[in-house]
Structure 1
Amino acid sequence: MPTTMLTVDASRPASAPLADTLRMGTNTSPDGRTIGINSRYLTRDGEPWLPVMGELHYARVPEARWDDALAKVKAAGVDIVSSYVIWRYHEPRPGQFDWSARFDLRRFVEACATRGLYAFVRIGPWVHAEVRYGGIPAWVVDQVPTRSDDPLYLQYVQRFFTEIAAQLEGLLWKDGGPVIGIQLENEYNLTGPQQGPAHIATLKRLAREAGLDVPLYTVTGWDNAVFPHREVAPVFGGYADLPWGTSTKMSPPNEVYGFRFTSRVGGDLGAQTHNSEPGDADAVAGETPFLGAEFGGGVPTMYRRRPVLDPDDIAAMLPVQLGSGVNLYGYYMLHGGRNPPGDVDGQESTATGGYNDLPIVNYDFQALFGANGEGHPVLGKLRPLHLFLQQWGSELATCDVYAPELVSRGADDLETPRFSVRADGDRGFLFFNNHVRQYRMPVREGVQFSVKLAGRTVLLPAVPVDIASGISFVWPVGLALGGARLRYASAQPVTRLSAPDGETYVFSATHGIAPEFAFEPGCVTRIAPVDSRSSLTTDEADGVLFVRPTPGSVFVATCSDGKRITVITLAQEDIERLSVLPFDGQRRLILTDALAFERDGELVLRSKEVASFDVDVYPPLQRRPVATHAFVETPGSSVFQRFAVSVSPAAFDISVTPAREALRVPSIVSGGAARAAVEPAPECFGKAAAWRIDVPSEALNTPGLSNAYLSIRYSGDVGRLFSGANLIDDHFYNGLPWEIGVRNVAIDPQQSLMLTVLPMRADAHVYLDARYDPRPLICDQVAVVLGVSWVPEYEVVFSCA
């Protein structure tokens, strides 16, 4: 088979970072720790830092669930939690502020600190967030020109910022707290009277005068954003689909799957204002690092466009953006939620002048964690990369980006292979992507990479490989493993564990490609599998030692300094089950189908619907654990200690009774700022079909469960769920099960639930994923409930007291 040689010249020395290009705030904590920024990367305690940040809106999650949510976020390998402070929630009437219950910003930030998470507070005052008027209270919008230096508007903003500062007193980095950053405004590209970069400068001044003195100040940099140079750092993003678009057809190939070698600015991110001028982001690229804040952890479901993402649609974005030079990866959203109860007109809607129509309540976002805090399948795809960044992000941060010899012509070029190298001298990482959402990429046959580094050229792997459609990966070049050094590996590094008897390195096998570890001459004296269950081959050429384990195998390498390292190579299906958590005195690998996280020194396992599951632990525990449910130790795989866990199954029958049939609904109307399909008027919802749902009271708070879900499968246009007269959740039909955590919403056990489904017309001009579109099967309209089930979420807690 002919070889496809993919070449990149990464021999040019990495550029040195420039200091003092940005005027930020106090960056030193009382104990001397520092958070810094230069022209190329962030620093922590003077060392390069490449963190993962994720958006979680405290006001959209019941306060009783915050600690739980943040523990899961921490276990996902996330370092920083960002959150909008949505003004309309906190000052619904002039001068009357509400910082209580789910609006308690102070308690939320304190909870972040408790979980060892940094906080990035996005104070607006205009935040978008798919809320009415971008979060600015209606009483402000009714009175003054917003998003400008209008004196009265600034007076209101100053009062709001002062209130925020009071909530965060003692919690800023300079005071020993977790708040390391402030984002000002959002998607700001306005250049009219009293607007433009000067307005962002004014907001920064007001924030600092209020006492919001932090190491980092950012603004969003896309859609021709404007901001004052040297005063703020722009942040960037990209989404796998564009639900704010107007097309009723499948989207063309998206730019987020192609490496960015020229501009950091992505494509359409849904800004509601427009600017014909170039904006400021590219102009400061030499002075600011490539930081991300809104790489989509999913997408919202909007009325006119309802895309359904597959896990790889999100997972493939991460290696692409890292390979493009991103030195802070920020998700929007990381954790879904629901708008606060009772705020029935607070969502973004065309009826109130918004560009899009959003559900009144639901904000699931198909994110890593859904509206109820449940882990979505994409979590297992992304967590290994987060762990990689926690371990090797400091090395990656200093690496420059090098484009290949042959670069893709654009987003719709599906033929040219997509890859890049980030390198610093004779070490670096190779990033490759062969996935584009909803488009099949060609198999790359007989591929080898030629990477020219500062001192030599590395050819990898030794034998050409085929790379299947849909595959993306990160491979190391020149990576140190303790006393050994890899020339390269055709497997993805995940994490490292340290122990007195040596270090353990974990790699992920790339699907369809045999793992290969090429050790530099003389650095390793012996290779041995740990047991008969680990299969590997070795050979040597020109002094390079090649080790080829089968996925799931473990080998020990004795280094020339006499120390030993252990290398675990997990198959893709196992790496998606992997968490790395502190337990029984040290960080351990946890392999399980359950959602795993650490809470107050205990190992918590959450299993949705499945009452029996395994959990594998490495290194083996020093003490026999105790658990809240029955478990037995069983033979594990290779070096892992395995426990089989069994929980008494719980089940309840849910009664669904038709209450009324749907009436015929009128055609969907086009209009609004987008001149596209708009959500039906409120009066139209009286034509919806309705069902009474009876849930046994004990199903709402079953002992021993962390939660339970009403899983509703239906076909129609819009679903709404009421407890008495209160709307507790809603859903624009997209084909996915609609799940409501019974501990995430307020359900009155004394009343039946009422489910309504507005019919979907056969001629509805909205976009639906073809896999779930009912319109080809109907001739008029459809509003049916296919099933309602009760799904338990079991919790098992292990401890080693």
Structure 2
Amino acid sequence: MKRLIAFFIILALVCFSASAQKIWKTDVTNVDTTVVRGHLQLGGVSPSGGTISVNSNYIERNGKPYIPVMGEFHYSRCAKENWDKELKKMKAGGISVVATYLFWNYHEPEEGKFRWDGNADLRAFVKLCDENNLDVIVRIGPYSHGEWRNGGLPDWLYGRPIEVRSNDPEYMRYVERYFKQVGEQLTGLMYKDGGPIIGVQLENEYQHAASGWALGYGRFSELTAARMDVGITQVQAGINSEGNANSAIGASHMKELKRLAKAAGIDTPLYTATGWGFATIVEDGSIPVMAGYAYAAWTPGNVASDFYLFKDIRKHPDYAPVSFDTSKYPAMAAEIGTGMMTSHERRSIVPHESFLPFMVRNVGSGNNGLGYYMYHGGNNPLFEGSNLSYTDGSVSMRSYDYQSPLGEDGYPRLGYKSLKLINYFLQDFGESLAPMVTVIPDSNTSDSKDVTTLRYAIRSNGYGGYVFMHNFQDRCQTQNLGNNRIEVQTKSGKVCIPANNTFTLKSKMSAIFPFGVEFGGIPFNYATVQPYCKVGNGFVFISLDGIAPEIVLDGKHFVKGVKSSFSQGRTYIKLVAGQACDFKIDGVDFLVVPFDMALNSYKYGDRLLFSEGIVVGSEKAEIITTSSSVNIVVWPEAKLSSEKGTITKSNSSIGSSWTLNMPEVNPNISVKKSGDRYLIVDASNVNWDELSELYIKFNYVGDRGVCLMNGYVKTDNFYVDAPWIVALKKHSEGLREHNMYFYFLPMDKNGQYLKDLSKLPDFGKSKEYLDLGTPEVIPEYRTTLFITK
């Protein structure tokens, strides 16, 4: 009787377990991977014989599929002495292409008087990109937007009897002169000359958006757009469901801009044009690049967006309808919102844990090019007494931090670390991914507020591919999604992920699982670990919390370093969750590391280094860290030494582990409170030669802060639930003679932006609230590392 009862209990548990499983099914046997070539007027050849071409689905580089990872960084918003350091950080973060705006009015503030010196030295910036093995896309305008004064159009154009952003002969005469100046600065730096410039963006949001003239009257009452286009012009990215009656005229203008650019020597394999919201492109002569802003400051707040829903983004672009035939062009994004500007009325706060799920959604949806806007923040310059910030007086005067992965002065945030996980993936596995097309499961939700359905998409060639999934939704609270199994019907048979278990996709997490693909010639049936990067001849994967790490191989293989089993024609490798381990499969090196460990990893040559500091450089490795003592793990194992300090070996489960101790620097800086709204910084005695950088972190709660020195606003900040971090080294000369003043304004109890903040202070009976908190002084150290076998 007891045995019978036990039997029924076990049977009930099995039945309950089976019923609790959520099996998500998708069929990829009918995917169409056909590409069309030769129909676009794009492409080029380098002096060494390298090639870049564009087909209907993706870019090809040297005859192989290629997915660019583009990071927006405006040289004019960064001190020239910091360009090299910040470009190195971008490359370490997995960026392969630097995208940068040219702002016409910064280079020709007075008619006929051009400047290309100092922070306006475009040529020096592009050459530094080249030295750091970074490609470049220059967004030459003539109109750029970028939350910049007049969108980059010079003040002296205002009020003249011409139509800007049109084929008006007088306007085009000025544009031609400007393009010739740009061409002269970039002579010899084009891809066809062996240089790093692989692409040019013409105009920006043409016949879609504009900004206000700084010299106009009233907010956005006079737009930087031709009068014929005012009726369809928006202030920021959005949807245009009305179309464009002037599209033929606009197409003629874009074609003429491309002609003028090429005539000026700005001749590149790729030309792009923003294509969202029915913007006009160069038909067959440019790639329409798209955008996506889940936390846009110009849309109503607290409304869940559709940007976290998977879709076939090539057939159904974000901000559709569009003006072009989507079947002719690859899906590429120029502006995926990694961050957002803030204004006095609107504090649209972008959580950095949203960045990676957003990119997983975009790549899983079919994007074959990622462009982050912004990837690196900046600071709006002052020139000849003019404020070059946006004409809307409610935005920051100087700061263009944008809540970006690398902040205004290059301070790294969580988003910088997490984006590496997909950037490295695209760099090393984009060749196999790019030809794969998107399949959207029937089970996927179309309701952005539905947070109980597993959100996933598959990119496949019919035989194998990658499963992309995430569990994030802006402005919604998500829960852990458990008991999931994905079944994919391929031309080679059915793949179950996992085969004998289920997985939990935790809240705010994302995952990419391979199936039916090879790594180093090893045929993976599937894996519940995420492909990360190639290191030398080895492969690195990431294990995720809540998902048992497992690799299943087709056929029998020799596995050394971890336990494996063979059953029914497959080799099973089960790994220990939360632990790093390295092993070999048929002599090929593999490394699996937990998610948190992967966040602190950096590629350098044929090694992967793990550290809380940032490891940068290609010719030589350097570490940038805010701690004088830092641990470094090197995989595969190698010897490590340092230019500064002492380095000792420690224990590690993988590779070799080292502890670097550098002499701790006392910055000799004074931060004193004065009254209830002021902090005074005295940095006159700082030895700047000892420091890579010196930051002050202001842990205040209030409305905003303003940084002033010698009568000028140096930067400013709208409170956004996070500390304000200011770098001082670029001000070092002025700080020798002048104090820096920080002025803070209190939060108003009735401020309309309070709805954007996650936590509000206790106002009590007061109408205002200001807490200056305790500022933190953060020295930054930098030293060269020497890695030898």
Equivalent AA in structure 1 for residue 270 of structure 2? L
| CA displacement at 1:195 relative to structure 2 | 5.0
Number of the residue aligned with 1:497 = 535
User: Does 2:392 match 1:374?
Assistant: no
Number of the residue aligned with 1:588 = 607
Query: Does the 8 Å CA contact 1:481/1:565 hold for their aligned counterparts?
Result: no
- Residues 213 and 579 (structure 1), Cα distance of their counterparts in 2 relative to 1, 3 Å cut: same
Query: Does the 8 Å CA contact 1:710/1:740 hold for their aligned counterparts?
Result: yes
Number of the residue aligned with 1:23 = 41
- Residues 714 and 394 (structure 1), Cα distance of their counterparts in 2 relative to 1, 3 Å cut: same
User: Does 2:113 match 1:96?
Assistant: yes
User: Does 2:88 match 1:71?
Assistant: yes
User: Does 2:528 match 1:452?
Assistant: no
- Residues 516 and 214 (structure 1), Cα distance of their counterparts in 2 relative to 1, 3 Å cut: same
| CA displacement at 1:204 relative to structure 2 | 1.2
Aligned residues: 729
Task: Select the residue among 644, 661, 669 that pairs with 2:659.
Answer: 644
Separation in 1, partners of 2:512, 2:380: 38
Separation in 2, partners of 1:5, 1:162: 60
* Higher mean C-alpha displacement, 565-574 vs 220-229: 220-229
Number of the residue aligned with 2:505 = 467
3-state SS, counterpart of residue 417 of structure 2 = helix
Query: Does the 8 Å CA contact 1:506/1:569 hold for their aligned counterparts?
Result: yes
| CA displacement at 1:436 relative to structure 2 | 1.2
Equivalent AA in structure 1 for residue 744 of structure 2? V
Separation in 2, partners of 1:452, 1:189: 44
3-state SS, counterpart of residue 790 of structure 1 = strand
Separation in 1, partners of 2:47, 2:339: 38
Equivalent AA in structure 2 for residue 204 of structure 1? K
Task: Select the residue among 692, 695, 706 that pairs with 1:709.
Answer: 695
| CA displacement at 1:552 relative to structure 2 | 2.8
- Residues 214 and 711 (structure 1), Cα distance of their counterparts in 2 relative to 1, 3 Å cut: same
Number of the residue aligned with 1:183 = 201
Separation in 1, partners of 2:679, 2:529: 53
User: Does 2:103 match 1:52?
Assistant: no
| CA displacement at 1:415 relative to structure 2 | 3.0
User: Does 2:559 match 1:527?
Assistant: yes
Separation in 2, partners of 1:344, 1:650: 38
| CA displacement at 1:481 relative to structure 2 | 2.3
Equivalent AA in structure 2 for residue 788 of structure 1? P
3-state SS, counterpart of residue 496 of structure 1 = strand
Query: Does the 8 Å CA contact 1:184/1:218 hold for their aligned counterparts?
Result: yes
Number of the residue aligned with 1:225 = 279
3-state SS, counterpart of residue 208 of structure 1 = helix
3-state SS, counterpart of residue 349 of structure 2 = coil
Task: Select the residue among 561, 566, 570 that pairs with 1:544.
Answer: 570
Separation in 2, partners of 1:186, 1:49: 24
| CA displacement at 1:222 relative to structure 2 | 1.1
Number of the residue aligned with 1:751 = 738
Number of the residue aligned with 1:633 = 649
CA displacement, residues 305-345 of structure 1 (integer Å, 9 cap, x when unaligned): 21333222111111111111100111111111111145652
Query: Does the 8 Å CA contact 1:236/1:265 hold for their aligned counterparts?
Result: no
User: Does 2:58 match 1:32?
Assistant: no
User: Does 2:312 match 1:261?
Assistant: yes
Number of the residue aligned with 1:598 = 617
Number of the residue aligned with 1:252 = 303
Number of the residue aligned with 1:797 = 784
Query: Does the 8 Å CA contact 1:448/1:459 hold for their aligned counterparts?
Result: yes
Number of the residue aligned with 2:680 = 693
Query: Does the 8 Å CA contact 1:255/1:266 hold for their aligned counterparts?
Result: no
CA displacement, residues 46-100 of structure 1 (integer Å, 9 cap, x when unaligned): 1110121111101111111111111111111111001000111100000100100
Query: Does the 8 Å CA contact 1:495/1:506 hold for their aligned counterparts?
Result: yes
Separation in 1, partners of 2:685, 2:675: 27
- Residues 772 and 160 (structure 1), Cα distance of their counterparts in 2 relative to 1, 3 Å cut: farther
CA displacement, residues 684-724 of structure 1 (integer Å, 9 cap, x when unaligned): xxxxx4x251323233x433321011222323323111111
* Higher mean C-alpha displacement, 717-726 vs 46-55: 717-726
User: Does 2:737 match 1:786?
Assistant: no
Output the TM-score relative to the length of structure 2.
Answer: 0.89
| CA displacement at 1:385 relative to structure 2 | 1.4
| CA displacement at 1:612 relative to structure 2 | 1.3
Query: Can you give the 5+ residue segments of structure 1 that lack an aligned partner in the other structure?
Result: 269-276, 352-356, 530-535, 662-688
Separation in 2, partners of 1:579, 1:47: 25
Equivalent AA in structure 2 for residue 594 of structure 1? G
Equivalent AA in structure 2 for residue 318 of structure 1? M
Query: Does the 8 Å CA contact 1:590/1:615 hold for their aligned counterparts?
Result: yes
- Residues 704 and 264 (structure 1), Cα distance of their counterparts in 2 relative to 1, 3 Å cut: farther
Query: Does the 8 Å CA contact 1:238/1:266 hold for their aligned counterparts?
Result: no
| CA displacement at 1:657 relative to structure 2 | 4.8
| CA displacement at 1:375 relative to structure 2 | 1.5
| CA displacement at 1:648 relative to structure 2 | 2.5
| CA displacement at 1:558 relative to structure 2 | 4.4
Separation in 1, partners of 2:295, 2:754: 12
Equivalent AA in structure 2 for residue 509 of structure 1? S
* Higher mean C-alpha displacement, 753-762 vs 191-200: 191-200
3-state SS, counterpart of residue 320 of structure 1 = helix
- Residues 433 and 558 (structure 1), Cα distance of their counterparts in 2 relative to 1, 3 Å cut: closer
- Residues 553 and 764 (structure 1), Cα distance of their counterparts in 2 relative to 1, 3 Å cut: closer
Query: Can you give the 5+ residue segments of structure 2 that lack an aligned partner in the other structure?
Result: 1-16, 209-227, 230-245
3-state SS, counterpart of residue 703 of structure 1 = helix
Task: Select the residue among 161, 172, 185 that pairs with 1:154.
Answer: 172
Query: Does the 8 Å CA contact 2:645/2:661 hold for their aligned counterparts?
Result: yes
Equivalent AA in structure 2 for residue 578 of structure 1? S
| CA displacement at 1:383 relative to structure 2 | 0.7
Separation in 2, partners of 1:71, 1:624: 21
Query: Does the 8 Å CA contact 1:290/1:325 hold for their aligned counterparts?
Result: yes
Output the TM-score relative to the length of structure 1.
Answer: 0.87
Query: Does the 8 Å CA contact 1:9/1:405 hold for their aligned counterparts?
Result: no
Separation in 1, partners of 2:145, 2:584: 53
Query: Does the 8 Å CA contact 1:130/1:358 hold for their aligned counterparts?
Result: no
Number of the residue aligned with 2:137 = 120
| CA displacement at 1:388 relative to structure 2 | 1.1
CA displacement, residues 332-372 of structure 1 (integer Å, 9 cap, x when unaligned): 11111111145652211335xxxxx3211111112121111
Separation in 2, partners of 1:185, 1:23: 18
Number of the residue aligned with 1:391 = 428
Equivalent AA in structure 2 for residue 69 of structure 1? E
Task: Select the residue among 17, 25, 28 that pairs with 1:10.
Answer: 28
Task: Select the residue among 109, 114, 133 that pairs with 2:150.
Answer: 133
3-state SS, counterpart of residue 547 of structure 1 = strand
Task: Select the residue among 291, 296, 315 that pairs with 2:332.
Answer: 291
- Residues 315 and 183 (structure 1), Cα distance of their counterparts in 2 relative to 1, 3 Å cut: same
User: Does 2:506 match 1:506?
Assistant: no
Query: Does the 8 Å CA contact 2:550/2:572 hold for their aligned counterparts?
Result: yes
User: Does 2:380 match 1:346?
Assistant: no
| CA displacement at 1:411 relative to structure 2 | 2.4
| CA displacement at 1:179 relative to structure 2 | 0.5
Query: Does the 8 Å CA contact 1:734/1:768 hold for their aligned counterparts?
Result: no
User: Does 2:628 match 1:611?
Assistant: yes
Query: Does the 8 Å CA contact 2:693/2:779 hold for their aligned counterparts?
Result: yes
Number of the residue aligned with 1:671 = none
The sequence identity of aligned pairs, in percent, is: 28
Separation in 1, partners of 2:729, 2:375: 20
Number of the residue aligned with 1:574 = 597
Query: Does the 8 Å CA contact 2:349/2:757 hold for their aligned counterparts?
Result: no
CA displacement, residues 493-541 of structure 1 (integer Å, 9 cap, x when unaligned): 111223xxxx32211002211111001023x1x2232xxxxxx543333
Number of the residue aligned with 2:219 = none
Separation in 2, partners of 1:236, 1:652: 45
- Residues 232 and 760 (structure 1), Cα distance of their counterparts in 2 relative to 1, 3 Å cut: same
3-state SS, counterpart of residue 797 of structure 1 = strand
- What's the RMSD between the two structures over aligned residues? 2.1
| CA displacement at 1:105 relative to structure 2 | 0.6
Separation in 1, partners of 2:179, 2:588: 52
- Residues 216 and 184 (structure 1), Cα distance of their counterparts in 2 relative to 1, 3 Å cut: same
Separation in 2, partners of 1:440, 1:399: 32
